[in-house]
Each structure stands twice: as C-alpha cells, then as structure tokens.
Amino acid sequence: MTTALEREYQTALERKKNPEPGSYTTYLYDKGLEKILKKVGEESTEVVVAALSQSKEELVGELCDLTYHAIVLMVEKGISLEDIADELDRRAAKQHNLKAERKPITNR
C-alpha cells in the first residue's frame, strides 16, 4: 500500500523526470532551487502563523503545503524518503537524546 507521502514523492519525482506543461511542480523545477527554497520558507512561516492563530483545519492545510514543498526540495536535491526514514530511525535509536548534550553555539 502506498502512503500519501510516497504518492506525493513519486509525483514530484515524475514531474522532475518528465516535465508536464502547466504543472505547478514543473514550474518550481524550471525556476530552480532558489524558487523552491523561497516557497519552503514562505510555507514554514504560514505554518507558524496558522499554529498560533488559526483553526486545526487551516493548520493541517498549511502543513500539507509545507510538506509538498519540502518533497519538491528533496527531489531537487536527490534526497529520498528512504534517506529521511533512515535518519529518523538513526535518531530514534539514540539513547539520552537530551539537548544538554548538544554542542554549545559559539559566536564566530
């Protein structure tokens, strides 16, 4: 059974390999990484705004928009869903994943 994320990823991958005139995904790939990154940033901000002041339904919609644009970015950069799943598994396997163990931020 294919998940919604897998379906979206495969569609984005297909648009990258076989551009479809009039497709928004094709438009993003044609415009390039800078446009894709701009959209990821915009959608991230919209998620924050929706989380603070809007309904659950609106937040879900904004999260879907962000997820879609993140998937387009993944395809553009050659990152697979398996790459993400592997990293999530690696992180889940860590013990003592406390923020206190992270390296401090230093001014350079």
pLDDT of residue 60: 97
Q: What's the token pair of residue 11?
A: 């569609």
Which pTM does this prediction carry? 0.84
pLDDT of residue 64: 97
- Cα distance between residue 85 and residue 40, in whole Å: 20
pLDDT above 60 (res 42): yes
- Cα distance between residue 17 and residue 26, in whole Å: 10
pLDDT above 80 (res 105): no
Mean pLDDT confidence for 54-70: 96
